[in-house]
Structure 1
Amino acid sequence: MTVFALCGLVALVLVGTVQGDSLTVTSCGDTQNALVKVSKFEYSPNPVTFPGNITIDVDYEILQDIVSPVSVNIAIEVSSNGRVLQIPCINGIGSCFIQDICETVATEECPDFFKNNNIQCQCPFNKGTYSLSDLKLYIPLGDIKGEYHVAIQVYTNDVFAFCLDINAINK
């Protein structure tokens, strides 16, 4: 997964909860003071099948410029057969801490989807209202059956920007 696919998921910070048969997305942390607010979040198919594609539509607002350094902490756990396993960080994928995602995205080419939808690929991420329509992501869950939990926390200059909890069940 490129950092831009990760950013697409991170952008899905919700005011409430989105829940389907196999996927739940919830805001976490200090939602009242979050720097990113989402007004619309829709996904299909529902239920999501794993492995498989998910299509996302989201409208969100960045309340103030998000400037470097932007730290991202990602924790991924899978619960299966009564055991909980934290997925390690390997080559920037898994349970990772990114000291400054601005440095990371500066070295990657902006995907066409972002360019075509006027989504910024470099820091700062400017204050404003944005829409992502028909964003397609591939979710590679397949071999390991169980419950997956992904927690993503984002800070800009050590100030809380937003937090996201994603839970998925792979039966």
Structure 2
Amino acid sequence: MDKVLFLALTLSLLAVLTQVNCSSSKLKRVRRAQVLGFDWKNCGKPDDPAVLKTLNLSPDPISIPGDLIASASGSTAVELKSPLSLDVTLEKEVVGIWVKIPCVDELGSCHYRDICDILNQLIPPGQDCPEPLHTYGLPCRCPFKAGSYSLPKSDFYLPNMDLPYWLTNGNYRVQGVLSSQGKELSCVKVALSLNSDN
């Protein structure tokens, strides 16, 4: 995961998602879940300007609900401002074959036209960034200025959540490509296993 703003965006979204609860009839309440074998790597081009240098999550497995300890660092050589598009490819392993999950209700392999708009909806302008981003002076909405970002080891609480029925158990791969005006800025791949009780 050597592409950065994904640091700021990933941390912003992580902090925000711990506070957001979706309410859709297509989602089901997960009483308990575990994320096992979380792994990430960079998938971008050598000249991508946004670089996530480190991302550490513990414990392994991560329990939901439960406590999560996260630290990260990265940098961006350019200001990351609206519009910032994000292309997500989500795959699930089915009998040894990786199957691409289509975009359904904004979940799955989706194209998001502007992550900045989404961040503004989750954390309205003028509102403080959630902790611990606020304490460390890390941004949670666009623009993300050029420079280096670092989140020391920080505690997060992951609450109960609602998940689509197809996203509750299995091995997953996720790739995110961040772009602006057709130019790739960053690319990150994540792999994990999810086990849940209904």
Question: TM-score category by the smaller chain?
Answer: 0.7 to 0.9
Asked whether the 8 Å contact 1:39–1:60 carries over to 2, the reply is yes
Aligned residue in 2 for 1:25: 40
Q: CA RMSD in A?
A: 3.2
Give me the TM-score of the superposition, normalised by structure 1.
0.73
Q: d(CA) in 1 for partners of 2:38 and 2:80?
A: 28
Give me the TM-score of the superposition, normalised by structure 2.
0.64
For structure 2, the residue ranges without an aligned partner over 5 or more in a row are 1-7, 14-35
Question: Alpha-carbon deviation of 1:101?
Answer: 1.3
Question: Alpha-carbon deviation of 1:83?
Answer: 5.3
Question: Alpha-carbon deviation of 1:63?
Answer: 1.3
SS at 1:33 equivalent: coil
Asked whether the 8 Å contact 2:9–2:140 carries over to 1, the reply is no
Answer with 1 or 2: which has the greater Rg: 2
Alignment of 1:105 onto 2:119:
yes
Question: Alpha-carbon deviation of 1:118?
Answer: 1.6
1:150 to 174, 181, 196: 174
| Cα-to-partner distance string for 1:6-39 (whole Å, 9 max, x where unaligned) | 932699xxxxxxxxx7122010020x11222233
Aligned length: 156
Q: What pairs with 1:18-167 in structure 2 (closer than 5 Å)?
A: 22-30=37-45, 32-45=46-59, 47-49=60-62, 51=64, 53=66, 54-82=68-96, 84-109=98-123, 111-113=129-131, 114-133=133-152, 134=154, 136=156, 138=158, 144-167=168-191
1:7 to 2, 6, 9: 9
Query: Which structure is higher in RCO with an 8 Å CA cutoff and minimum separation 6?
Result: 2
The alpha-carbon distance between structure 1 residues 28 and 127, as it changes in their structure 2 partners (threshold 3 A), is: same
Q: d(CA) in 2 for partners of 1:63 and 1:130?
A: 11
The alpha-carbon distance between structure 1 residues 160 and 120, as it changes in their structure 2 partners (threshold 3 A), is: same
Percent of aligned positions with the same letter in both sequences?
21
